């Protein structure tokens, strides 16, 4: 299949109609073929809820933000990160027969996924696993949000990190577990290994971060305590989200693949970060083994508080005070999944 430029192409895959729209000059057949394999894989196990999938393969997702906010009622917090995501699945829980998948060619290329059919298959399987893995625990987590008390310069980063690793982690854990258990373990493990390798290579930029932080301290615009906090937050942002990838393999009885990813983290990434990051990662990984799909708010809320307590205890050292609190939020039925 050649690139489709601004035109609609329709493909029948069993009982599902796949509609493909693209503004890319590049050949998009790798993405389309991976999408077909994901649909066939879930459908073969009776897990496929959709009769229509619209696949947008676009140069960038940035132009979509205003349209998604206006037409689908999505909040800024749901769309603000879209330009940085490799792909996103937009689905409505009230109308499960249809979903819309948006693929970001620019980000896929920058992250070395564009020519990797196995990685793209893993990404698409993860996106489609979100509506399939919906459960009471995810619904309970969706009603919660996180409030951060921290130095103002770091509040946005900490708010995103805390939400991703606590209330947002629930849907990611179950989506990844479903992928692993239902035929996509190899693709997901490959994707994770590629991501670990890229993160490890990016640590080559760490000396420049250290230099800038030291210069800020010497210039009087930052204290030594703030320097340490900035560095730790940067390292936690790199390392901790990988617990969302490792734990589902153990949850789905694919311990060998999970151990392989953890070995790569301990060999290539964690040694380059602050010494206590490895321990925080392992503690978070263990917490992610616990959630059950039938959990209600009674179990989800204290579990989220445990995650936030781990983060705050790790960050609140040497007089640097950081705290997180849970707050209720009106539940939404229309969601976007994250990769």
Contact yes or no for 3/59 (Cβ under 8 A)? no
Q: Which of 174, 144, 41, 50 is nearest to 101 (CA)?
A: 50
| Sign of the torsion formed by the C-alpha atoms of 297, 298, 303 and 309 | positive
Domains of the chain: 8-132 (3.40.390), 144-336 (no CATH)
| Distance between CA atoms of residues 252 and 264, nearest Å | 20
Amino acid 338: pLDDT: 41
Amino acid 223: pLDDT: 80
Token code pair at residue 12: 């029948």
pTM of the model: 0.91
pLDDT by residue, tens only, the chain of 339 residues: 333 445 678 999 999 999 999 999 889 999 999 999 999 999 999 999 999 999 999 998 887 776 666 655 555 555 567 778 999 998 998 999 999 999 999 999 999 999 999 999 999 999 999 999 999 999 999 999 999 998 888 899 999 999 999 999 999 999 999 999 999 999 999 999 999 999 999 999 999 989 999 998 888 888 887 888 889 999 999 999 999 999 999 999 999 999 999 999 999 999 999 999 999 999 999 999 999 999 999 999 999 999 999 999 999 875 668 899 999 853 343 344 444
Contact yes or no for 306/90 (Cβ under 8 A)? no
DSSP string, 127-141: HHHHHHT--HHHHHH
| Distance between CA atoms of residues 321 and 7, nearest Å | 54
Token code pair at residue 186: 């190899």
């Amino acid at each position: 299949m050649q690139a489709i430029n601004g035109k609609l192409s329709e493909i029948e895959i069993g009982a599902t109609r796949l509609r493909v729209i693209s503004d890319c000059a590049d050949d998009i057949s790798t993405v389309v073929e991976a999408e077909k394999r994901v649909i066939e894989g879930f459908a073969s196990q009776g897990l496929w809820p959709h009769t229509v999938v619209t696949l947008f393969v676009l140069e960038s997702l940035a132009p979509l933000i205003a349209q998604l906010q206006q037409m689908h009622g999505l909040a800024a917090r749901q769309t603000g990160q879209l330009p940085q995501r490799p792909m996103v699945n937009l689905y409505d829980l009230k109308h499960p027969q249809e979903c819309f998948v948006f693929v970001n060619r620019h980000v896929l290329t920058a992250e070395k996924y564009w020519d990797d059919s196995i990685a793209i298959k893993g990404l698409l399987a993860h996106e489609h696993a979100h509506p399939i893995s919906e459960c009471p625990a995810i619904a309970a987590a969706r009603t919660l949000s996180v409030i951060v008390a921290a130095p103002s310069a770091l509040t946005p980063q900490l708010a995103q990190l805390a939400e991703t690793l606590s209330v947002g982690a629930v849907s990611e854990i179950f989506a990844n577990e479903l992928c692993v258990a239902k035929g996509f373990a190899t693709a997901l493990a490959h994707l994770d290994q590629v991501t670990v390798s890229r993160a490890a290579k990016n640590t080559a930029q760490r000396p420049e971060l250290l230099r800038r932080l030291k210069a800020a301290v010497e210039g009087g615009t930052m204290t030594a305590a703030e320097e340490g906090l900035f560095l730790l937050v940067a390292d936690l942002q790199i390392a901790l989200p990988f617990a969302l990838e490792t734990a589902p393999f153990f949850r789905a009885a694919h311990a060998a693949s999970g151990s392989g990813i953890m070995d790569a983290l301990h060999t290539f990434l964690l040694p380059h970060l602050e010494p206590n990051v490895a321990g925080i990662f392992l503690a978070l990984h263990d917490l992610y083994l616990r959630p059950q799909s039938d959990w209600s708010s009674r179990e989800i809320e204290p579990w989220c508080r445990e995650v936030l307590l781990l983060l705050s205890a790790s960050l609140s050292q040497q007089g640097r005070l950081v705290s997180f609190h849970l707050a209720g939020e009106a539940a939404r039925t229309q969601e976007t999944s994250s990769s």
